[in-house]
């Protein structure tokens, strides 16, 4: 049984949603479709990007359109060309079994003549960007004085892009007796003002909480020096071989710079910015939608209206100045019921801004550590092995080549062949990450976090025989611990780096594991020794040995030694 049937949609639309693979309405669709079908009341729909708003208003709109009347009955306004084209395509898909419906997209950056010709022939629904729509209205080509439905999609984005005056001019030409549907992810003052001026006692429908992040999006942040942002971005990409996402930069120049570096370094990436012609922009977006590109580097303005449902990651190369812009960015992943990750590459002085974002979206940001070279190489190696193991082999296509290949490689045994095969793909990563530095820096802790460390976590004091003389610092030490333990979220307390040795605190839950994994390691050609200080630990013989010192300094004597294996 089609669950959409409960919304009141007719058989043609139910058949379309079934064909399109829709299984059940999203929360916004479930609430808004019956309301549009059964009343003419103005509606404000508050929902994040990717929650199904287009189907929410598009399906009931198709059902209510009078096919016999070829005049413009509905005007849908949206911020960008891409979103305009996407909405038009979606509505045509919804109407595939509804005969005779005409939908026209009008937008700037394209020849206006074909759009004028289509309008003169007659169309039921016009989907437009504010600038081109107003142009056509002023030419007296697009007549909106008789429309029955006005839809403002992503109203906050249109205002952010500077379309306030255009929107006011368009809205003033529309009839007072119409149903207005306003959709927005956020409700800033300017959007509220439009609602007050042009809507009549609107019904507010919210899917999820206002100003919150999507439930299926995780929020991670990494803390590095500003000069290490690009290196950190590459490691994030390398540790996620199947990444498919957008990297947001602050400026057009930064966008081009980051994209150029990624391309030169062999990544499937390209830039989207304001200096591109429309043809160039379309080419980049076509490659991105086909997943020829894994990473799209863009500014907020250039990325507005991009509608791609399968993004795995959003990466904030810089935090936006406006916290609500972060909400829009992160809402581009975790769509259509899938999970996603929003990543921020921050520096140590942005802790307050991270906490502001946590308050805005109502979710905790997870502090993650930039992976080290060994961790990345391991991930890439096993990703390669998985691809080889699962590749589909079509013997009919390779059969004629195999005898020559067998003969060429017959001198190699099974193990040697595997080693050669792995090395072809893997040597680049091994060489690049050889002696790769740790990029992490320790973020500032808030007073509440410090109190939590003292009150809620039982820490063990650990001695390690490496200090600043060997290049050790708090960030390098954290990276060393994370890599050895195979975890990047172990609570670490105070760190004290001396010239020839260091002390650090670690959650006592992990102290024994620490001693086990730190076995026979060498750091900078020096054998590494770690010991629990002021505590008890079992030696390899099973006997307990105690290390205590009343004045708090490390005391030599009986030691339980474990050497770190990294």
Placement of tokens 């004629």 in the chain: 400
What pLDDT band is residue 214 in, cutting at 50, 70 and 90?
A: low
What pLDDT band is residue 457 in, cutting at 50, 70 and 90?
A: low
Cα distance between residue 209 and residue 204, in whole Å: 12
Q: Average pLDDT, stretch 289-307?
A: 84
Please check whether residue 232 is in contact with residue 222, taking contact to mean a CB–CB distance below 8 angstroms: yes
Q: What is the reported pLDDT for 257?
A: 94
Burial bucket for residue 422 (CB in 10 Å: 0-12, 13-18, 19+): middle
* Bridge partners, residue 504, by sequence: 462, 495
Please check whether residue 96 is in contact with residue 75, taking contact to mean a CB–CB distance below 8 angstroms: no
Cα distance between residue 165 and residue 157, in whole Å: 14
Q: What is the reported pLDDT for 311?
A: 92
Backbone φ and ψ of 174, nearest 5°? -85, 155
Q: If residue 490 lies in a helix (H) or strand (E), which one and from where to where? A: none
Please check whether residue 163 is in contact with residue 193, taking contact to mean a CB–CB distance below 8 angstroms: no
DSSP state of 372: P
Q: What is the mean pLDDT of the chain?
A: 83
Q: What is the reported pLDDT for 131?
A: 94
What pLDDT band is residue 509 in, cutting at 50, 70 and 90?
A: confident
Residue 68 CB coordination number (10 Å): 6
Beta strand 149-152 with 203-206: parallel, antiparallel or unpaired? Answer: unpaired
Please check whether residue 377 is in contact with residue 433, taking contact to mean a CB–CB distance below 8 angstroms: yes
Q: What is the reported pLDDT for 547?
A: 34
Closest by alpha carbon to 565, among 481, 441, 466, 451? Answer: 481
Which of 3-17, 39-53, 266-280, 421-435 comes out lowest in average pLDDT? 421-435
DSSP state of 370: P
What pLDDT band is residue 249 in, cutting at 50, 70 and 90?
A: very high
Residue 138 CB coordination number (10 Å): 11
Sign of the Cα pseudo-torsion (302, 304, 309, 315, in order): positive
* Tokens at 450, concatenated: 């410090």
Q: What is the reported pLDDT for 213?
A: 55
Q: What is the reported pLDDT for 2?
A: 56
Q: What is the reported pLDDT for 553?
A: 33
* Tokens at 508, concatenated: 């006592």
Q: Average pLDDT, stretch 469-497?
A: 80
Structural domains of the chain, ranges and CATH numbers in brackets: 3-206 (3.40.50.300), 217-372 (3.40.50.300), 374-432 (no CATH), 447-547 (3.30.70.330)
Placement of tokens 């017959």 in the chain: 410
Tell me if the pTM is above 0.85: no
* Tokens at 436, concatenated: 């790769």
Q: 153-197: per-residue pLDDT in tens?
A: 988 888 877 899 999 999 999 999 999 999 987 787 888 889 999
Beta strand 74-77 with 125-128: parallel, antiparallel or unpaired? Answer: parallel
- Provide the percentage of residues in the chain whose pLDDT is more than 70: 88
Is the pLDDT score of 324 beyond 80?
Answer: no
Q: What is the reported pLDDT for 540?
A: 32
Distances from the Cα of 195 to the Cαs of 40, 74, 127, 328, 528, in angstroms? 16, 18, 20, 21, 67
Is the pLDDT score of 33 beyond 90?
Answer: yes
Beta strand 492-497 with 502-507: parallel, antiparallel or unpaired? Answer: antiparallel
Q: What is the reported pLDDT for 544?
A: 33
Q: What is the reported pLDDT for 92?
A: 95
**Alpha helices (runs of H) in 174-218, residue ranges in sequence order:** 189-198
What number of CA atoms fall less than 13 Å from residue 456's CA on the CB side?
7
Is the pLDDT score of 71 beyond 50?
Answer: yes
Q: What is the reported pLDDT for 344?
A: 96
Cα distance between residue 301 and residue 323, in whole Å: 15
Q: What is the reported pLDDT for 469?
A: 82
Cα distance between residue 156 and residue 282, in whole Å: 24
Which residue did the predictor score with more confidence, 443 or 66?
Answer: 66
Which of 177-186, 233-242, 277-286, 423-432 comes out lowest in average pLDDT? 423-432
Q: 522-553: per-residue pLDDT in tens?
A: 777 777 888 887 543 333 333 333 333 333 33
Is the pLDDT score of 121 beyond 80?
Answer: yes
Which of 247-251, 404-408, 456-460 comes out lowest in average pLDDT? 456-460
DSSP state of 392: P
Cα distance between residue 25 and residue 27, in whole Å: 6
Give every CB contact of residue 383 below 8 A, 6+ residues apart in sequence.
241, 242
Is the pLDDT score of 449 beyond 70?
Answer: no
Q: Average pLDDT, stretch 109-136?
A: 94
Please check whether residue 42 is in contact with residue 36, taking contact to mean a CB–CB distance below 8 angstroms: no
Q: What is the reported pLDDT for 545?
A: 34
- Give the 3-state secondary structure of residue 495: strand
- Give the 3-state secondary structure of residue 353: helix
Closest by alpha carbon to 288, among 258, 260, 309? Answer: 309
Is the pLDDT score of 435 beyond 80?
Answer: no
Is the pLDDT score of 360 beyond 50?
Answer: yes
Selection from 45-49, 255-259, 305-309, 464-468 with the highest mean pLDDT? 255-259
Cα distance between residue 495 and residue 501, in whole Å: 11
């Amino acid at each position: 049984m089609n669950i959409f049937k409960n919304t009141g949609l007719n058989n043609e639309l139910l058949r379309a949603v079934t064909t399109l693979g829709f299984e059940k309405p999203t929360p916004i669709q479930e609430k808004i479709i019956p309301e549009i079908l059964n009343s003419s009341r103005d509606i404000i729909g508050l929902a994040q990007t990717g929650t199904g708003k287009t189907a929410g208003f598009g399906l009931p709109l198709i059902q209510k359109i009078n096919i016999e009347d070829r005049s413009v009955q509905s005007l849908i306004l949206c911020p960008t060309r891409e979103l305009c084209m996407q909405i038009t395509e979606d509505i045509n898909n919804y109407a595939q079994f509804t005969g005779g419906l005409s939908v026209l997209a009008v937008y700037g950056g394209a020849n206006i003549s074909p759009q004028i010709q289509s309008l003169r022939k007659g169309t039921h629904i016009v989907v437009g960007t504010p600038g081109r729509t107003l142009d056509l209205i002023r030419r007296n080509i697009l007549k909106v004085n008789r429309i029955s439905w006005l839809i403002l999609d992503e109203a906050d984005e249109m205002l952010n892009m500077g379309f306030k005056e255009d929107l006011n001019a368009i809205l003033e030409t529309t009839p007072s007796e119409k149903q207005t549907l306003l959709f927005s992810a956020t409700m800033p003052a300017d959007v509220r003002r439009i609602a007050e001026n042009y809507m009549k006692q609107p019904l507010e429908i919210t899917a999820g909480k206002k100003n919150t992040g999507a439930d299926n999006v995780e929020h991670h942040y990494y803390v590095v020096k500003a000069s290490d942002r690009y290196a950190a971005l590459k490691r994030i990409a390398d540790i996620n071989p199947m990444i498919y996402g957008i990297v947001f930069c602050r400026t057009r120049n930064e966008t081009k710079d980051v994209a150029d570096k990624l391309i030169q370094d062999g990544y499937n990436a390209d830039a989207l910015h304001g200096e591109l012609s429309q043809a160039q922009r379309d080419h980049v977006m076509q490659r991105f939608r086909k997943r020829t590109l894994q990473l799209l580097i863009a500014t907020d303005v250039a990325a507005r209206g991009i509608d791609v449902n399968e993004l795995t990651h959003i990466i904030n190369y810089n935090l936006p100045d406006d916290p609500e812009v972060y909400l829009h960015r992160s809402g581009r992943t975790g769509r259509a019921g899938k999970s996603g990750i929003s990543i921020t590459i921050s520096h140590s002085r942005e802790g307050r801004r991270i906490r502001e974002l946590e308050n805005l979206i109502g979710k905790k940001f997870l502090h993650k550590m930039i992976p080290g070279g060994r961790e990345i190489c391991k991930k890439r190696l096993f990703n390669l092995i998985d691809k080889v193991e699962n590749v589909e082999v079509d013997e009919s296509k390779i059969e004629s080549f195999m005898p020559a290949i067998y003969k060429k490689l017959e001198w190699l045994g099974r193990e040697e062949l595997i080693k050669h095969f792995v090395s072809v793909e893997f040597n680049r990563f091994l060489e690049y990450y050889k002696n790769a530095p740790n990029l992490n820096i320790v973020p500032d802790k808030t007073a509440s976090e410090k109190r939590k460390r003292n009150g809620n976590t039982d820490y063990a004091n650990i001695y390690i025989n490496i200090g600043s003389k060997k290049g050790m610092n708090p960030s390098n030490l954290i990276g060393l611990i994370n890599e050895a333990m195979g975890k990047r979220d172990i609570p670490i307390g105070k760190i004290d780096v001396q010239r020839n040795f260091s002390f650090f605190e670690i959650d006592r839950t992990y102290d024994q594991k620490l001693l086990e994994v730190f076995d026979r390691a060498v750091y900078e050609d020096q054998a590494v020794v770690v010991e629990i200080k002021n505590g008890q630990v079992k030696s390899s013989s099973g006997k307990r040995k105690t290390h205590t010192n009343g004045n708090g300094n490390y005391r030599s004597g009986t030691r339980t030694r474990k050497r770190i294996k990294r």
